[in-house]
Amino acid sequence: MWKLKIAEGGPELVSLNNFIGRQHWEFDPDAGTPEEHAEVERVREEFKKNRFQKKQSADLLMRMQLRKENPCGPIPPPVKVKETEVVTEEAVITTLRRALSFYSSIQAHDGHWPAESAGPLFFLQPIVMALYITGGLNAMFSPAHQKEIIRYLYNHQNEDGGWGFHIEGHSTMFGTALSYIALRILGEGLEDGENRAMAGGQKWILDHGGLVAIPSWGKFWVTVLGVYEWSGCNPLPPEFWLLPNIFPIHPGKMLCYSRLVYMPMSCLYGKRFVGPITGLVQSLRQELYNEPYHQINWNNARSTVAKEDLYYPHPLVQDMLWGVLHHVAEPILTCWPFSMLREKALKAAIGHVRYEDENSQYLCIGSVEKVLCLIARWVEDPNSEAYKRHLARLPDNYWVAEDGLKIQSFGCQMWDAGFAIQAILSCNLNEEFGPTLRKSHDFVKASQVWQNPSGDFKAMYRHISKGAWTFSMQDHGWQVSDCTAEGLKVAILFSQMSPDLVGEKMETERFYDAVNVILSLQSSNGGFPAWEPQRAYRWLEKFNPTEFFEDTLIEREYIECTSSAVQGLALFRKFYPKHRRTGDRQ
């Protein structure tokens, strides 16, 4: 039976706050009663039966476990009000007590509320592919893990045989090809799956142009696997990391999320790395194309993308750039003496990967980047401590529910806790739910980032983080403007309450640190971006290399982040009116 573990460490793991906020699933074949096993199977079958109507899981396995661990006593019966009946204050308070009683019962012992943060159908499959390449698949994923991955992929296959970009989406080549390949790696045959689901997936791929029509991120992964060729990919030259900082298209000016995708990608592209050509890889070369593999025009394949995936078609100027890099720059850079420049660029790129690994405790900024950094470090040294530490942190990324095992972008522990706490406080039932509030206050205090990234972080294109809150937990290390603002709000609200009820308040200096982070992120137009200060020109989006995302290459301001920041700063100013008044009025 699957068990959710909270705030627990393990071999090869390092934490800055004793793993507060960590959540990961383990399989224990001896856990659970026969009745619990039967209930788990029932909810799994119920999800499968309704999977085309209700595609999002309800976290029932987590709820079953936490409610058993957190008995909250009897929950008041629901209040029923007729249409013509007046809603009384007593009825509202009873309803709030019901909600808060239930919500307290699914709080983890370290104070946060565990929850799934998944949905995209391109997080899980690259991890399966990477572990297949490194030979670590069976070591990391037991038969129980693999069974739940297979369950998840079949549960989210569309009725037309394909898989979407995310679980609610129409079928795409990206989602379908990656899911089909992952299932084949996990042992599924060409005729396997309910109603020949695998055959349906293969037919969808071939009917929509074959694997040549997969978008750029997909081309990268199937190339690394050995089912596609590097000559069919647009260049990812690591030499970009050697450009002077004043250069307008320097990768240090990119949105951090994009920067940390293309950083390890450029390491693998620069080495033209390809995994072992196994019998399965050779079979996939035959299964996924409409023509013999050796006859494919890889140059044409570079710009071939299925219409179902083409959300953002490349502008002409971008295609011209790729053409020059592919036909002119790459042949030069791979020949001596220019190949010496490539070696220098590869060292610079892998240096940035190492820095990200070490400053995020090998969590990395998100699961897309996590697996890319993992395989880049394995290619650098298959026996390295870095690779072992990456493997040890993989459980932080996956989540188990009634629909199977999926991969999260990263956890949402702090984000969810910030809003949950504000909701509870607004009910004005604090005395009744003191233990819930005290635990959540402890979590907030333990989740604030206490230090900036290590060393000369500006040279590594990082921003200050001391005083910030992340989207997930302190170990993640990446400051986010609205998460910091929401964390500041709840910390200040707790500071105005009795310590006997919610515990000791945070030190005032830590409030100041949070304010410093928020103000440092504000743009010249008054708005607030999410991760880092806005550094690049808007026209750089013309060179966004992805076909399925728009407006992802540079950081920009958001109403949501700006709203949270303004609210957090306004609340802070109410209690600390003299702090940094000069020059910060805007």
List the domain boundaries for the chain: 123-407, 412-585
Which residues is 569 bridged to in the sheet? none
Place of tokens 């009820």: 501
Rg (CA), the chain: 25
Dihedrals phi, psi of 136, to nearest 5 degrees: -105, 10
Which residues is 24 bridged to in the sheet? 5
Q: Are 431 and 451 in contact (CB under 8 A)?
A: no
Q: Give one word for 66, left, alpha or beta, with left for phi > 0 and alpha for psi -120 to 50.
A: alpha
Q: Are 154 and 194 in contact (CB under 8 A)?
A: yes
Dihedrals phi, psi of 418, to nearest 5 degrees: -60, -45
Q: Are 403 and 47 in contact (CB under 8 A)?
A: yes
Which residues is 163 bridged to in the sheet? 172
Angstrom distances, CA of residue 196 to CA of 159, 192, 206, 537, 538: 12, 5, 16, 50, 47
3-state secondary structure of 82: coil
Q: Which CATH class is domain 412-585?
A: mainly alpha
According to DSSP, the β-strands at 163-164 and 23-27 are unpaired
Output the pLDDT for position 524. Answer: 94
pLDDT means per 10 residues in the chain (586 residues)? 97 97 96 95 98 96 94 84 90 94 96 95 97 97 98 98 97 98 98 97 98 97 98 95 89 92 97 98 98 97 96 91 92 91 96 97 96 98 97 97 95 97 97 96 98 96 97 97 98 98 97 98 96 90 88 92 98 94 58
Which of 357, 482, 513, 551 is catalytic? The answer is: 482
Amino acid at 580: R
Cβ-proximal residues to 90 (8 Å cutoff; 6+ apart), any chain = none
**Helix axis angle, 89-105 relative to 434-447, nearest 10°?**
50
Cβ atoms within 10 Å of 582's Cβ, excluding its own: 5
Longest Cα–Cα distance of the chain, Å, equals 85
Cβ atoms within 10 Å of 336's Cβ, excluding its own: 6
The helices-and-strands tally (H runs, E runs) of the chain is: 23, 8
Instruction: Please indicate whether the domains covering 123-407 and 412-585 agree at the CATH topology level.
Output: yes
| 515-518, long-range: CB < 8 A, 24+ apart | 515/467, 515/488, 515/569, 515/572, 515/579, 515/580, 516/464, 516/466, 516/467, 517/464, 517/465, 517/466, 517/467, 517/468, 517/479, 517/481, 517/484, 518/481, 518/484, 518/485, 518/488, 518/565, 518/568, 518/569
Place of tokens 């085309």: 52
**139 is written with which tokens?**
């070591």
Domain 123-407 in CATH 3.40.50.720? no
Q: Are 171 and 52 in contact (CB under 8 A)?
A: no
Which residues is 529 bridged to in the sheet? 557
3-state secondary structure of 4: strand
Cα 556 to Cα 552: distance, rounded to the nearest angstrom = 9
Which residues is 4 bridged to in the sheet? 25
Q: What DSSP designation does 365 have? A: S
Cα 221 to Cα 437: distance, rounded to the nearest angstrom = 45
Cα 88 to Cα 454: distance, rounded to the nearest angstrom = 56
pLDDT digit string, tens, across residues 329-373: 999 988 999 899 999 999 999 999 999 999 999 999 999 999 999
Output the pLDDT for position 245. Answer: 87
According to DSSP, the β-strands at 528-529 and 557-558 are antiparallel
The predicted model scores a pTM of 0.95
Q: Are 20 and 110 in contact (CB under 8 A)?
A: yes
Dihedrals phi, psi of 583, to nearest 5 degrees: 85, -5
Burial class (CB in 10 A: 0-12, 13-18, 19+), 509: exposed
Amino acid at 186: L
Annotation marks residue 110 as catalytic: no
Place of tokens 């391109």: 122
Cβ-proximal residues to 207 (8 Å cutoff; 6+ apart), any chain = none
Cα 314 to Cα 330: distance, rounded to the nearest angstrom = 20
In 3D space, the residue among 14, 127, 26, 23 whose CA is nearest the CA of residue 378 turns out to be 127
Output the pLDDT for position 548. Answer: 86
